[in-house]
Amino acid sequence: MNATPSKHSFGMIGLGTMGRNLLLNLADHNFAVAGYDKDADKVALLGKEGAGKPVEGFAELAPFISSLQTPRSVMMLVPAGKIVDSVIDELRPLLSPGDIIIDGGNSHFTDTERRAKALEAEGFHFFGMGVSGGEEGARFGPSMMPGGDKQAYQVVQPMFEAIAARVDNEPCVTYIGPGAAGHFVKMVHNGIEYGLMQLIAETYAVLKTGLGLDNAAIGQVFTQWNAGRLQSFLLDITKDIFGYIAPDTDHLLLDDIKDEARSKGTGKWTSQVAMDLELPIPTIDTAVAMRDLSKYKALREQLAGLYGPAAGALPVEHGAFLAQLEQAFYFSMVITYAQGMQLLTKASKDYNYDLQLAEIAKIWRGGCIIRSGFLNEIFNAYKGTPDLGHLLLDGQVQKLVNEAAPGSRAVVAAAATAGLALPGYMASLSYFDTFRTARMPSNLIQAQRDYFGAHTYELIGKEGVFHTQWTPEHEDAANKKDVEVGQEHKTEKPVTPNK
Ligand code: 6PG
């Protein structure tokens, strides 16, 4: 191993792609670091790639821990779930009160809350930190979302700020909030990621099936979009994907890839938590659902045979339609971010995370998977109004959305008419139109619930809840039943809500 100082500033448990590259990034910034992994090959790879840098690898946990200066800062980058708990159990006897443990994996925020409480009670500091940007981000500049003990953050802050991506010379890392706030924000980042990826996939379908463009032309569209207001990491990699020829062939690797999407679960968690918080994020929900639907390949083939293939060409003039499609994508992208930001707003209140949405948008401008030019608009919106109730309430965003909405309508209408599935685009447009519906038809749902389940309803301008016998037969039956149970049932009188 390389000659390194006797004590290291930072230790990493888990020398997989992310862990190893984060360590190398730290070493590039002159932090003396140690890495541990049970897999000797991974330790050897660290040694090889860390040659000449202040990096030391260990295959045994105890010497690894002993090599760290105190208070120790130990980060885990291991798969989310039970492994994290078992690593913590191994660490406990080797660490001292005041040491800092950081979980940099995509752990579920409720697991992080549980771990933080237990470890803080034992005198340790615990951080759940979202790390975004994949292998390249870890190596050269991720976006990081640390949540946990604010005091302890000061110990690791210089290291994280040194290695983070930078935008306008500012590090894409900030203290997110207490407890599991960091992992919660990372989860929502991934929910937005799912939504944006779904929109790009649907755009691919419009270009390929709707307009009949070949891969070169499709790649050209993404390249052009990425050079303008749609600039984003996801579009940037997509244009590359449309240029990657499968080895020893004359066609794109993309054309050989199965159309069944997989997931590690963070998008699903986002939808689950949003439902728990009663906070609608339909574009993200749709993205999760479409990944699931894509798995039903055999059934899709059966139904395509029964009902005919989904869609044919769109009867549109390509030039004008492409301009509308750019508008529609921009509109749907804004809506997707807006849904994620509103979920953060709700969670911040419900979980007391005290999230600073401007700061979160700011550190998402670089290093992370959802980085894009539009994040500057989000940053400006929440910087100007920290307690903004919804991104769509921002004046500048309102202007951008109003300009782009017509394109969304045109694309959704054309696709629906042609039978081209655009669930993400359609969910985004309906979300927008529903949120600008001052009186929704939900009064009918309330009436139905009261009719069949006596679940009661509220009346405009009146206090209390009400129940109605909606037909004479119901009235007779109720009176008969009431007589039996001694209650007086009157239409539209305040009643004790049915339990
Ligand atoms: C990131 C990525 C990262 C991981 C994806 C996998 O921010 O760097 O989001 O965390 O690669 O979450 O996502 P899937 O759920 O699609 O597998």
Residues 334 and 483 in one domain: no
Residues 171 and 289 in one domain: no
3-class SS of residue 182? helix
CA distance 130 to 189: 9
Ligand 1 center–CA 190 separation, angstroms: 6
Which atom number of ligand 1 is nearest to the Cα of residue 197? 16
Quick one: tokens of 232?
A: 């984003």
Range of the domain at 297: 186-435
Query: So what's the pLDDT on residue 499?
Result: 38
Evaluate whether residue 495 is within a structural domain.
no
3-class SS of residue 242? coil
Residues 232 and 165 in one domain: no
Evaluate whether residue 284 is within a structural domain.
yes
Cβ-based burial of 236 (10 A; exposed 0-12, middle 13-18, buried ≥19):
middle
Q: ∠421-225-328 over CA atoms, to 5°?
A: 40
Evaluate whether residue 209 is within a structural domain.
yes
Evaluate whether residue 2 is within a structural domain.
no
Output the pTM of the full model: 0.94
Cβ-based burial of 169 (10 A; exposed 0-12, middle 13-18, buried ≥19):
exposed
Residues 416 and 297 in one domain: yes
Catalytic annotation present for 493: no
Q: Which residue pairs from 5-8 have beta carbons closer than 8 angstroms and sit at least 24 positions apart in sequence? A: 5/32, 5/54, 6/67, 7/32, 7/67, 7/68, 7/69, 8/32, 8/33, 8/34, 8/54, 8/56, 8/67, 8/68, 8/69
Angle subtended by helix axes 423-435 and 282-294, to nearest 10: 160
Residues 396 and 273 in one domain: yes
Query: So what's the pLDDT on residue 495?
Result: 53
179, 210, 240 - which closes a domain: 179
Residues 72 and 103 in one domain: yes
Residues 303 and 414 in one domain: yes
Residues 209 and 272 in one domain: yes
Ligand 1 center–CA 171 separation, angstroms: 21
Evaluate whether residue 4 is within a structural domain.
no
Query: So what's the pLDDT on residue 6?
Result: 64
Residues 415 and 466 in one domain: no
Which residue is closest in CA terms to ligand 1's atom 6?
264
What CATH number is given to the structural domain containing 472? 1.20.5.320
Evaluate whether residue 3 is within a structural domain.
no
Which atom number of ligand 1 is nearest to the Cα of residue 186? 7
Residues 245 and 166 in one domain: no
Residues 265 and 221 in one domain: yes
Which atom number of ligand 1 is nearest to the Cα of residue 133? 8
179, 199, 231 - which closes a domain: 179
Mutate which of 135, 187, 193, 364 for ligand 1? The one with the most ligand atoms within 8 Å of its CB, which is 193
Which one of 53, 186, 239, 362 is the catalytic residue? 186
Query: So what's the pLDDT on residue 474?
Result: 79
Closest CA to 286 of 427, 181, 188: 427
For the chain, the farthest-separated pair of C-alpha atoms sits apart, in whole angstroms, at 91
Catalytic annotation present for 186: yes
Chunk the chain into consecutive blocks of 10 residues (it has 499) and report each block's average pLDDT, rounded to whole numbers: 68 97 98 97 97 97 97 96 97 96 97 97 97 97 97 95 97 98 98 98 97 97 97 98 97 98 97 98 98 98 89 88 98 98 98 98 98 97 97 98 98 95 98 98 98 96 95 80 49 47
Q: How many domains does the chain have?
A: 3
Which one of 56, 113, 193, 377 is the catalytic residue? 193
Determine contact, residues 132/369, Cβ cutoff 8 Å: yes
What CATH number is given to the structural domain containing 169? 3.40.50.720
Mutate which of 143, 200, 264, 290 for ligand 1? The one with the most ligand atoms within 8 Å of its CB, which is 264
151, 179, 207 - which closes a domain: 179
CA distance 24 to 335: 37
Length of the chain: 499
Residues 388 and 353 in one domain: yes
CB atoms within 10 A of CB 91: 19
Evaluate whether residue 1 is within a structural domain.
no
Element (H, E) at 153: helix 150-163
What CATH number is given to the structural domain containing 357? 1.10.1040.10
CA distance 273 to 175: 22
